[in-house]
Amino acid sequence: MLDPVVTLVCSLACAAVFLSGAFGKWRERERFAAAMEGYDLIPTVAVPTASTTIILAEAAVGLALLLPQAAPLAQGGGLALLAVVTAAVIINLLRGRHEISCGCGGASGEQQLSWGVVARNAVLALALLVAALPAPERDLSALDHAMVALGALMLAGLYAAASQLLANHPRLWTLRNS
């Protein structure tokens, strides 16, 4: 069994990632819908509904991860959501379609499909799995709460940094080869 601080860090960091992703996609709904259309996996007429559903599901998972009673359902929902979007990325990568937007949203800007996106999603799924592991009940001290907050900020920051690196990689490759 893991210490509850570890599982809480993972849960809170995942909540931050899902909520910030949902916020970024909501803010640029048209761009997200266009990215989904670019995947060419669902009929064009279904894209507006599907894109809104994904945004709302992402927000619901993020919010539910903040509630201890809803966390098990949120962890399962988050894993399912990650499985669906990662499968869409893998299908397009296997089709040779690397140059379309992943639609990931967020401050990092446009990210193209890559195996790095798949790896980043796998790490997020691993964090959700760690958050779901049983942890012994114990009272948390003020130091524990501080460690949860700092640990979650660190993990969410690492996720954001990985997203920024993935977004910048094609640009740096172009600069380096021109």
Tell me the domain boundaries of the chain: 4-176
- Reported as type and span, the H/E element at residue 104 is none
pLDDT at 104 over 80: yes
Mean pLDDT is highest, among 52-66, 93-107, 151-165, for 52-66
For residues 157 and 67, what is the distance between their CA atoms, to the nearest angstrom?
Answer: 22
Mean pLDDT for 15-33 is 94
pLDDT at 81 over 90: yes
Closest C-alpha among 130, 161, 151 to residue 2:
130
- Reported as type and span, the H/E element at residue 18 is helix 4-27
Return the half-sphere exposure (C-beta side, CA atoms, 13 A cut-off) of residue 174. Answer: 6
Q: What is the pLDDT of residue 109?
A: 57
Buried b (16+ CB within 10 A) or exposed e, 38-67: bbeeeeeeebeeebeebbebbbbbbebbee
Which pTM value belongs to this model? 0.89
> Tell me, what amino acid is at 141?
S
Mean pLDDT for 36-41 is 94
Q: What is the pLDDT of residue 112?
A: 86
Provide the CA 106 distance to its chain's centre, in angstroms: 10
Mean pLDDT for 85-106 is 90
